[in-house]
A and B are shown apart, each in its own frame.
Chain A
Amino acid sequence: MSHEDYKGMLELEALDALEAIEGRAVREHLEDCAECRAELRELRDTAAMLAHLVPAATPPAHLRARILDAVAAEDQKSSAQPETDTQPLKEKEPLPFVPRRASYNWGALLAASVLIGALLVSLFLVWQRKNQAEAELAREREVRELLSAPGSNMVMLAGTETAPQARAKLAYDRQTGRAVLFADGLPPAPAGKAYQLWFITPDGKVLPGGVFATNQSGQAEMRDQIPAEGRNAQTFAVTLEPAGGVRVATGAKYLLGSKS
């Protein structure tokens, strides 16, 4: 595609309205094109102006204190006992990172396509049951595109003793950091709590990921952006944390999985 083609996609990107595969292509182009970056910046600023259309509404006064308390609590935790806090997540020793060779490993490709096939079938069945045709087709496309990217990975997370019924699939793109997590069988989070994803790198760093809630059937779906320093993570975990999420894991682990 030419620069002009990409340029014509920036308006949609500014509204997050591109299909996943186009979005990825545009973001790759942006890395090399200062002109498009500047254009997108302006278009994003324009899109954000639409927020002014809505009448302003004052949130309840207690929310300010709740946020500042949550932030203070995070800091205290991270400065007080960073080692013990991160320790529980290191239960499984991360495997050493072995760079992939460019040559094809047919066995792995076959296994990956079986996994992709199984994922698509299970997604399809869940979706069919929930009868959410519109949104779900878009999701299926998103996962398929995510898994067909050159840097794509999929990790299965298993429930820990705390939640033996739970399981999850995490699909992510190592190049862009885009990630989608599908979880199932999680108990509903108590009030004020939510689940949070963690990325554990080979050198033992535990990086915070997105926060999510489940629906009434214990299912959850979350999109996240893995920070650059977490894209070589070998181990992934989900813990129960305060609803806003924390910087350092404190809660019980519910899901755990490593890259095979």
Chain B
Amino acid sequence: MPTSDTELLRAIASGDSGALAELYDRYRSILFGLLLRILHDSAEAEDVLQEVFIQTWRRASAFDESRGKAFTWLVTIARSRAIDRLRSRSAQERTALRAAPDPWEKVSDASDDAVRSEEGERVRRALAEISEEQRQTLLLAYFEGLSQTEIAERTSTPLGTVKTRTRAGLLRLRELLSR
């Protein structure tokens, strides 16, 4: 029987580096894809991926299953570290990155379907059912790490509306994904 993520994290907390290697093999591709998407820089994505697993090694004992899945824990570490790096870049660099396609546009292009995971398909189908505005707000918050105020400025939308869209979008996404 395959070992669960939580069991792996427990083994890692007790100093089992083989368990760390197994967890790495399990999630390296999705995490690396996420880091590339946020950072648009392969060398930086590698550095952050290394940091994520070293932090996992150092802090596995702090993982608490009652507060979320192991996958959520790893993705959260990776995303927040990547966004910290993004924010330390100059305004000029960040502006240049805005030209990058958002993941929704990229993946909804039917010709670009080389690697499509089953989970990815589910999320894409769910996102297709929520409104364009809610989707855009969620993606800006998640992949660009923009604050609600920044999203309001970027999209020329009142702050209250942005907050409402974020909340409604995430709730609707949860509902669609639980079907």
Contacts and interface: CB of A to CB of B under 8 A. Distances in A.
B69 A48 contact: yes
Contact of A59 (B29, B145, B174): B29
A21 interface: no
Contacts of A37: 66-67
Interface in A30-87: 37, 41-60, 63-64, 66-68, 70-72, 74-75
A51 B30 contact: yes
Q: Which of A220, A223, A227, A244 has the most CB of B within 10 A?
A: A244
Contact of A49 (B24, B123, B139): B123
A72 B71 CA distance: 24
B133 interface: no
A221 B88 CA distance: 7
A101 interface: no
A244 B55 CA distance: 8
A124 B174 CA distance: 40
Majority DSSP secondary structure for residues of A touching B: helix
Contacts of A41: 66-68
B37 interface: yes
A130 B76 CA distance: 29
Interface string B69-99: 1011001100110001001101100000000
Given A47-B170, A68-B17, A134 B150 contact: yes
Contact of A15 (B88, B116, B166): B166
Contacts of B87: 135, 221
A193 B117 CA distance: 35
B7 interface: no
B36 to A, nearest CB: 6
Contacts of A63: 28, 46, 49-50
A137 to B, nearest CB: 8
A90 interface: no
Contacts of B53: 67, 71
A41 B72 CA distance: 9
Given A11-B167, A132-B90, A52 B123 contact: yes
Majority DSSP secondary structure for residues of B touching A: helix
**Chain B interface residue count: which class?**
35 or more
Contacts of A245: 51, 54-55, 58
Given A41-B67, A48-B71, A75-B17, 12 more contacts: A12-B166, A15-B141, A45-B68, A52-B30, A53-B127, A54-B33, A58-B28, A67-B49, A130-B90, A220-B88, A243-B50, A247-B58
Interface of B: 15, 17, 20-21, 24-25, 28-34, 36-37, 45-47, 49-51, 53-55, 57-58, 62, 66-69, 71-72, 75-76, 79-80, 84, 87-88, 90-91, 103-104, 106-107, 112, 114-117, 119-120, 122-124, 127, 138-139, 141-143, 145, 147-150, 153, 163, 166-167, 170-171, 173-174, 177
24 contacts: A12-B148, A14-B170, A15-B141, A15-B142, A41-B66, A41-B68, A43-B174, A46-B170, A46-B173, A46-B177, A49-B122, A49-B173, A50-B142, A51-B30, A51-B75, A51-B79, A55-B112, A55-B115, A57-B32, A57-B33, A72-B17, A130-B90, A221-B88, A243-B50
Interface of A: 8, 11-12, 14-17, 19, 37, 41-60, 63-64, 66-68, 70-72, 74-75, 130-135, 137-138, 208, 211, 213, 215, 220-223, 227, 243-245, 247
